[in-house]
Amino acid sequence: MSHYSLKRLDGGVTMLPEAAVETFAAELRGELLTPDSAHYDWARTVWNAMIDRRPGLIARCVVQQDVRCALEFARENGLLLSVKSGGHNVAGNAVCDDGLMIDLSPMRWVRVDPKKQVAQVGAGALLGDLDRESLAHGLVTPLGINSTTGVAGLTLGGGFGWLSRRFGLSVDNLLSVDLVGTDGQCLHASEDEHPELFWALRGGGGNFGIVTSFEFKLHPFEPEVVAGLVLYPLEHAASVMRQYREYAAVAPDCLSAWCVLRKAPPLPFLSVADHGREVLALAVCYSGARQEADALIEPLRHFGTPLGEHLGPVPYTGWQTTFDPLLAPGARNYWKSHNFRALNDAVIDELVTAAGMLPSEHCEIFVGQLGGVINLRAPQATAYPHRDVEFVINMHARWESADDDKVCKDWSRRLFDALAEHATGGVYVNFMTADEEARVEAAYGPNQRRLIQLKQRYDPDNLLRINQNIHPSSEN
Full residue range of the structural domain in which residue 337 is found: 224-437
- Give yes or no: residues 230 and 190 share one domain: no
Share of the chain above pLDDT 70, in %: 99
CA distance 307 to 132: 33
Alpha-carbon span 424 to 350, nearest angstrom: 16
Residues 417, 354: Cα–Cα separation, whole Å: 12
Q: Please report which confidence band the pLDDT of residue 476 belongs to, taking 50, 70 and 90 as the band edges.
A: very low
Rg (CA), the chain: 22
290 plus 420 within the same structural domain: yes
Q: For 250-308, what is each residue's pLDDT tens digit?
A: 999 999 999 999 999 999 999 999 999 999 999 999 999 999 999 999 999 999 999 99
Q: Of 38, 71, 103, which residue constitutes the final position of a domain?
A: 103
3-state secondary structure at position 110:
strand
- The answer as to whether 465 is a domain residue is no
Distance CA 31, CA 40 (A): 11
CATH code for the domain in which residue 7 is found: 3.30.43.10
67 and 162 in a single domain? The answer is: no
Given a cut of 90, is residue 474 above it in pLDDT?
no
- In a shared domain, residues 251 and 399: yes
pLDDT in tens, 167-194: 999 999 999 999 999 999 999 999 999 9
Spatial distance between the Cα atoms of 53 and 443, rounded to a whole number of angstroms:
26
Using alpha carbons only, give the angle 161, 164, 165 rounded to the nearest 5 degrees.
125
pLDDT at 166 over 90: yes
- Judgement on whether residues 74 and 185 belong to the same structural domain of the protein: no
Beta bridge partners of 17: 3
Please check whether residues 151 and 299 belong to one and the same domain.
no
Report pLDDT digits (tens) over 289-305: 999 999 999 999 999 99
Whether 246 and 287 share a structural domain: yes
Predicted pLDDT of residue 2: 78
Same domain, 70 and 91: yes
For residue 462, is it within any domain? no
Report the side by side order of strands in the sheet with 364-369.
308-315, 224-233, 278-286, 255-263, 364-369, 391-399, 332-340
Q: What is the mean pLDDT of the chain?
A: 97
Same domain, 236 and 358: yes
Q: What is the pLDDT of residue 1?
A: 53
Whether residue 32 contacts residue 57, with contact meaning beta carbons closer than 8 Å, is answered with yes
Distance of CA 107 to the CA centre of its chain: 18
CA 64 – CA 72 distance, rounded (Å): 13
Query: Which pLDDT score, from 0 to 100, does residue 15 have?
Result: 96
Number of domains within the chain: 3
213-238 burial: b if 16+ Cβ within 10 Å, else e:
bbbbbbbebeebbbbbbbbbbbebbe
Does 476 map to a domain?
no
Percent of the chain with pLDDT over 90: 99
Residues 276, 367, single domain; the answer is yes
Rounded mean pLDDT, 189-202: 98
What are the tens digits of pLDDT across the range 398-456?
999 999 999 999 999 999 999 999 999 999 999 999 999 999 999 999 999 999 999 99
Residue 124 lies in a domain: yes
Binned at pLDDT 50, 70 and 90, residue 196 comes out as very high
Question: Are residues 362 and 324 part of one domain?
Answer: yes
Asked, for residue 378, whether it belongs to a domain, the answer is yes
Residue 230 has pLDDT above 80, yes or no: yes
pLDDT tens per residue across span 345-373? 999 999 999 999 999 999 999 999 999 99
**Structural contact between residues 225 and 313, judged by C-beta atoms closer than 8 angstroms:** yes
Q: Which of 195, 221, 247 is the C-terminal boundary of a domain?
A: 221
Span 24-51, pLDDT tens digits: 999 999 999 999 999 999 999 999 999 9
133 in a domain, yes or no? yes
Do 308 and 169 fall within a single domain? no
Rounded to whole angstroms, the Cα distance separating 383 from 445 reads 9
